[in-house]
Structure 1
Amino acid sequence: MIRIRPTVRRLVAVAAAGGVLALASCSSSTTPGAPAAGDTFVVATAGEPDTLNPVLNYGVDGASLIFDGLVARDAQNRLVPGLAAELPTVSADGRTVTAKLRDGVVFHDGAALTAADVAFTYRTVLDPKVDSTLRSDLEMLESVEAPDPATVVFRLRHAYAPFLQRLTLGVVPARALSGQDVNKAEFNRKPVGTGPYQVESWTPGDRLVLTANDRYFGGRPTNRRLVVAFVADDNIRAQRMRAGEFDVAELAPKLAAGFDGSAGYRVERVPTADYRGVMLPMGNPVTADPAIRRALNLAVDRAAMVAGVLGGAGEPAYGPVPPTSEYAEPAVTGKPTADPGAATALLDAAGWTPGAGDIRARDGRPARFTLMYPASDSLRKELALAVTADAKKVGIEITPEGLTWDAIDPRLNSDALIMGYGTPYDPDFVSYKLFGSRFAGQGYFNPGHYKSSVVDQALQQGRDQSDPARRKAAYSTFQKQLAADVPWVYLSYLKHTYVLRDTIDGVTPRVEAHEHDVANSLWWNINTWTRR
């Protein structure tokens, strides 16, 4: 069984003292605003990937800094040519997609990129012996061929409207992985790509060091070296940013707000499609009850969470399709503030009556459950506490519990969890696997074992249809059914918050997905950044 984290990477705790020593050589001063030594940038993030192989889910939406796809995304998330000389063409029936490669692209080791490498990459994802979480994303792909060194032809089983968006997948060199067990290959830690940076070293639990690829087809990077520091604890990451160790750090909204007005720093609040919510498992007799789920959905005060927990860096959330999407269904939007009266009336009608300690019960079973969250994530902790307080007001007792991901894993079908996902791209991305019945229990794909034939049919229609109106109708049905069943209580869409030295130029924020650590972060175009 494939198991992935809800952040699609493993969070690794880092000792503060060890990290300080490890990065000391990367900074010429601990004075805020002082540049790092030479042309090195040091960025800090909460988590590190399990692998650096795109076939195994590293940086598949582009901006991985190490690899390139046939297409890329610009600052507005529009598709632009990547390794392809121009955007691939789609046949009239939508089932044949043809890409022509750029001339002169080479991998980090100097070998030329060919269509055979592209074909190998996609065939490897489809290989059942490879533990790729991407295989279901490419179910529509029947074959991929390389009729000549510069041409790639994809043949689809059926038309799939967002297929070009799937071509952001980083291309790997066939010669490096052919004949190997891809799941255990050394390439996964020491990869060779075509991107603006190549891997110098990866110290697990500490940092990833990248050096400039001067042969990059997009132009020689302005920075010679990039250090990505992995610091799981939010507070430690903030302390080390203030100590001058980092040029940029991803921080929780409240911690980032502490840098507002501080000399030598500026704060970037980046809009996202990244939501946080409470996953309610169907294996727990309390959270499986529709009345409990719907009551909790009414009880949570989203406006207060955005103002308090997020410090205003976000907006209320009611479903997995962001309000900025053309596929968003207005009918699922609720009230941002809590409605405890409606919640208690619903619970009364369902037979959940007040009992000892004002905790409701039905047939001797108290309305009580545990809400897990990753202990190192201060934002999820605060959200868990806010949900707990709101639930108590309507007679539902929640016990918040901070755990490691390894401790969370075996409890996914019995205990609720503060989770995060989301994408600004196509609604087929993420939601198909997160809510489809066939994925129930596959790690963090549908971890709560939610099953709905209406949702399954709508999600399948959404990916099978090429007509925009029919796709919109399918995703409308999906969102309405999800809102009725409440397998999740959505809380908020975040703004990702970063603290930067104020001497950095060239930063170009764009709407971000949930996954935004090494790849797709504020530093997606760091190869063009400069210092004053």
Structure 2
Amino acid sequence: MTARSIRGTAAVALAGSLALTAAACSNPGSTEGSGGSKGPKESAVVGIAYEPETLSPLLGYGKDGNSKIFDGLLAFDADMKLQPALAAELPKISADGLTYTYEIRRGVKFSDGQPFGAKDVVYTYRTILDPKTNNASKTELDAVKEVKATGPDTVVFTLKYPYAPFAQRTVLPIAPEHVAGKQDPNTGAFSTEPIGTGPYTLTNWSKGEKLTFKANENYWGGPPRVKKFTMAIIKDDDTRATRLRSGDLDGAILPPNLAEGFKGDKHKKTYAAKTYDYRNVTLPTHNKVAGDTAIRRALDVAVDRRAMVDKILEGAGKPAYGPVPTDSEWFAKGTERTHDLEKAKQILDAAGWKAGKGGIREKDGVKAEFPLWYLSGDKLRQDHALAYASDAKKAGISIKTEAGTWEVIEPRMKTDAVLAGGGSPGDPDFDQYLLLQSALGGDGFNNMAWYDNKAVDKALDDARETNDKAKRKAAYDTVQRELVKNPGYTFLTHIDHLYVVDDDWDGLTTQVEPHDHGLASGPWWNVEKWIPKNLRKTEK
């Protein structure tokens, strides 16, 4: 399977863009109740960095919730607690943890007017689990043995083992069988012409430019006040900030140094979101240098994570020692790695990597050097890559940084290092399994380093197959301690997301966010509940 992981760069985050041409430079807020209009502001244009590859839940879109075109059986609220969505209530779970029963909300319709029912839930999950469907995250549903409708409004999931976080996986969007079921899930038009039950419907997708949505006036949760919503994909951070300042955008995600420039603007507000989002460097097993355990261990202590947080993130984040943030209950205390250049040199000396010409180490005729790719236009990745290469050079390891698009980078991932990102809130299984399971090496953006550690594989499986929290904690502690012995990746920072938005609406909040930061995240995670401020004044 070659489908990209949801964690990948063209992640499932719902995005869109204004064209990066002169045609897109006009102020999108100048019409339809925004900009200079005296009426209620009913449209919003926000800028983000990534575009989805698909809008089909069958291929991974929206698996963490907040897809806007679709709904899941359950949804996360602002505090990341599960709430009923297409399900009428939270599931009934059997005592052995093997059966989950969902009662379906009645009277819900898809945006084409057709009724939603249990059959659509069954169709969605069965299609995702079909080996022929190119969904790179289907291993997150590995526990599902059977899904069936026991009536028009009841769905029962039977599991192979008591998978503790299963309910959290049922935020996955539901596709309509009467439309998607008539197409090939991998190649059908549904991936670009989606129909769902969500608060918005897609009106236009200009690939590489923009996705535009209109409010679903018949939405079961009530019609949104923001009637038109456009996501602008602007890959370059500086360009995104410029567009926001000029009025082309109503909001945008920005790196800390650019968000800082809007602090004095009384017409804009900055929203910070805590995240599980990390930046790391893949150290491919198939690279003679990056795959060497001593090189990996040396880099793990040569890197100055605190300096990256202070200088690159300007304090908006924290050091990362693995996929689990240090303030999580799942973090294994004692696995923090202190910046220690001398220790890095000692590790390399002991392994036979001796200083050679220009201070670059060599072993058996092989120089300690390898390339490191980062995404073009992504300032945070660029800054992380440059800092990492600088720290590595002090230890005698030469890293050449290269910028490229994912089309350029992806074919090189088996042997070249990549400044990557990942992270998923909630259960530790969600990110760690896709990141570290050896069987997923080379599966798109899953296990990009081709990491192969049998102790980690066993711990990941053990943690999946029990509901005993203490046993699960012990298993994930094992994973994190194995990453100290043989990193496979150098984890650098966990990043807080910063968003700058025009102060024209009430109701904006943020959630704890995944790596993915598009429509699924940011203050627009609940855009359907925004209220224009001038409208609130008239209502008072």
TM-score normalised over the length of structure 2 = 0.94
AA of the residue aligned to 2:112: D
Over residues 261-302 of structure 1, what are the superposed CA-to-partner deviations in whole Å (9 max), with x where a residue is unaligned?
223222222110000011101111111111111111111111
Q: How does 1:493-508 map to 2 (within 5 A)?
A: 493-508=494-509
User: How big is the shift at 1:429?
Assistant: 0.4
1:413 aligned partner: 414
Structure 1 runs, 4 residues or longer, greater than 4 Å off = 10-15, 31-38
2:538 aligned partner: none
Report the 3-state secondary structure (helix = DSSP H, G, I; strand = E; otherwise coil) of the residue aligned with 2:87. coil
Q: How does 1:34-433 map to 2 (within 5 A)?
A: 38-335=41-338, 338-433=339-434
In structure 1, runs of 5+ residues without a counterpart are: none
Point out the more displaced range, 365-374 or 9-18.
9-18
Over residues 37-75 of structure 1, what are the superposed CA-to-partner deviations in whole Å (9 max), with x where a residue is unaligned?
841011111011111111111111111111110000010
Report the 3-state secondary structure (helix = DSSP H, G, I; strand = E; otherwise coil) of the residue aligned with 1:331. coil
AA of the residue aligned to 2:4: I
1-structure distance, mates of 2:162, 2:23? 49
2:536 aligned partner: none
Q: Is the 8 A contact 1:33 1:503 kept in 2?
A: no
Point out the more displaced range, 253-262 or 450-459.
253-262
Point out the more displaced range, 444-453 or 515-524.
515-524
Report the 3-state secondary structure (helix = DSSP H, G, I; strand = E; otherwise coil) of the residue aligned with 2:75. strand
1:24 aligned partner: 27
2-structure distance, mates of 1:161, 1:389? 42
User: How big is the shift at 1:12?
Assistant: 9.6
Point out the more displaced range, 260-269 or 361-370.
260-269
Report the 3-state secondary structure (helix = DSSP H, G, I; strand = E; otherwise coil) of the residue aligned with 1:159. coil
Over residues 134-153 of structure 1, what are the superposed CA-to-partner deviations in whole Å (9 max), with x where a residue is unaligned?
32111111111111111001
Q: How does 1:512-531 map to 2 (within 5 A)?
A: 512-531=513-532
Point out the more displaced range, 215-224 or 380-389.
215-224
User: How big is the shift at 1:28?
Assistant: 4.6
AA of the residue aligned to 2:475: A
1-structure distance, mates of 2:66, 2:44? 17
Distance verdict in 2 for CA 1:483–1:33, change over 3 Å: farther
Over residues 359-412 of structure 1, what are the superposed CA-to-partner deviations in whole Å (9 max), with x where a residue is unaligned?
111222221111110112111001000011111111111111011111111111
Report the 3-state secondary structure (helix = DSSP H, G, I; strand = E; otherwise coil) of the residue aligned with 2:510. coil
Report the 3-state secondary structure (helix = DSSP H, G, I; strand = E; otherwise coil) of the residue aligned with 1:154. strand
Point out the more displaced range, 35-44 or 272-281.
35-44
2-structure distance, mates of 1:288, 1:186? 41
2-structure distance, mates of 1:271, 1:186? 36
Q: Is the 8 A contact 1:47 1:231 kept in 2?
A: yes
Q: Is the 8 A contact 2:17 2:232 kept in 1?
A: no
Over residues 98-133 of structure 1, what are the superposed CA-to-partner deviations in whole Å (9 max), with x where a residue is unaligned?
000112111111211110111111111012222122
Distance verdict in 2 for CA 1:36–1:310, change over 3 Å: farther
1:3 aligned partner: 3
2-structure distance, mates of 1:174, 1:59? 17
Q: Is the 8 A contact 2:42 2:532 kept in 1?
A: no
In structure 2, runs of 5+ residues without a counterpart are: 534-540
1:443 aligned partner: 444
Distance verdict in 2 for CA 1:195–1:324, change over 3 Å: farther
AA of the residue aligned to 2:250: D
2-structure distance, mates of 1:456, 1:479? 12
Q: Is the 8 A contact 1:343 1:394 kept in 2?
A: yes
Report the 3-state secondary structure (helix = DSSP H, G, I; strand = E; otherwise coil) of the residue aligned with 2:274. strand
Distance verdict in 2 for CA 1:36–1:379, change over 3 Å: farther
1-structure distance, mates of 2:73, 2:16? 31
Q: Is the 8 A contact 1:19 1:206 kept in 2?
A: no
AA of the residue aligned to 1:450: Y
Q: Is the 8 A contact 1:48 1:518 kept in 2?
A: no
Q: Is the 8 A contact 1:281 1:288 kept in 2?
A: yes
Distance verdict in 2 for CA 1:358–1:66, change over 3 Å: same
Q: What fraction of aligned residue pairs are identical, expressed as a percent?
A: 44
AA of the residue aligned to 2:403: G
2-structure distance, mates of 1:445, 1:414? 15
Over residues 227-248 of structure 1, what are the superposed CA-to-partner deviations in whole Å (9 max), with x where a residue is unaligned?
1111111111111011111111
Over residues 140-180 of structure 1, what are the superposed CA-to-partner deviations in whole Å (9 max), with x where a residue is unaligned?
11111111111001111111111101100101111002232
2:537 aligned partner: none
TM-score normalised over the length of structure 1 = 0.95
2-structure distance, mates of 1:3, 1:117? 23
AA of the residue aligned to 2:280: G
Q: Is the 8 A contact 1:7 1:514 kept in 2?
A: no
2-structure distance, mates of 1:100, 1:522? 30
Over residues 446-483 of structure 1, what are the superposed CA-to-partner deviations in whole Å (9 max), with x where a residue is unaligned?
12211111000000011111111111111111111122
Q: Is the 8 A contact 2:18 2:24 kept in 1?
A: no
1-structure distance, mates of 2:397, 2:28? 52
Point out the more displaced range, 11-20 or 179-188.
11-20
User: How big is the shift at 1:322?
Assistant: 1.9
Q: Is the 8 A contact 1:140 1:160 kept in 2?
A: yes
User: How big is the shift at 1:187?
Assistant: 1.4
Report the 3-state secondary structure (helix = DSSP H, G, I; strand = E; otherwise coil) of the residue aligned with 1:221. coil
Q: Is the 8 A contact 2:244 2:252 kept in 1?
A: yes
Q: Is the 8 A contact 1:319 1:483 kept in 2?
A: no
